[in-house]
Amino acid sequence: MAIQTTRARFAGVAIAVVTGSVCIPWTQTATAAEPAPRHCVVDARSGQQSCFATFTAAVDRATDGRVTDAPATPREAAASPSFRAELSGLRATAASRAASKARTKAEGDVIQGTFFDGKNFTGSSLTITGPGLCEKDGWVNYQHDLADDWKNRISSVQPWGNCAVWLYPEPGLGGDRDGPFDENTADIGQMMNDRTQSIGFS
């Protein structure tokens, strides 16, 4: 009888497995893929924004084709002396054109800052171009209100165009600002992390 009972028990388990009534512990290991970073360029005068899959393409657009070999990621760009030297060369050219009063619209476009939604220059980026270099006269020379898709996202910054960057928690340079950020800043700190809605360049 004991043998028959055991066989019957095994048979019942086999049937249960076939019918799916036995629950086997299972842990889900798959995770949803994170969206790929986008690298966008916005003209501060017109508000026109274009986005690209690589930082290289974004810099190409921001410089009107004058820099076509930028590193593929902003983090690589931040660590590249040759890239900084190349943009510094554009800054000197822009200053010369300003002095001669002979700039066209394209020639006047200057990269004033690049902003990232991750710390350490990671994640998606937003590069802002403006009509000229900052003048270092103690005033905010240029300002930009972020579009809704970039509000409350910035975590690290790279200033360009002879500019220092000021970050504000409200549109129109409103609220208590933080800055100036006058060099590559991998972490802007708790005060303005994921809170910026407008930017001043001085």
pLDDT tens digit string along 177-191? 999 999 999 999 999
Q: Which CATH class is domain 36-201?
A: mainly beta
Which helix H or strand E contains 181, and what residues bound it?
A: strand 178-181
DSSP 24-79: --------PPPPPP-EEEEETTT--EEEESSHHHHHHHHTTTS-----SSHHHHHT
- pTM recorded for the entire structure: 0.71
Contact status, residue 120 vs residue 77, Cβ threshold 8 Å: no
Which helix H or strand E contains 142, and what residues bound it?
A: strand 142-145
Band (pLDDT 50/70/90 cuts) for residue 33 is low
Domain coordinates in residue numbering, the chain: 36-201
Other CB atoms within a 10 A radius of the CB of residue 78 amount to 18
Residue 120 to residues 60, 75, 172, 200: CA-CA distances in angstroms?
22, 7, 27, 21
Pairing status of strand 178-181 against strand 49-52: unpaired
AA identity, residue 15: I
Q: Which residue has the higher pLDDT, 194 or 86?
A: 194
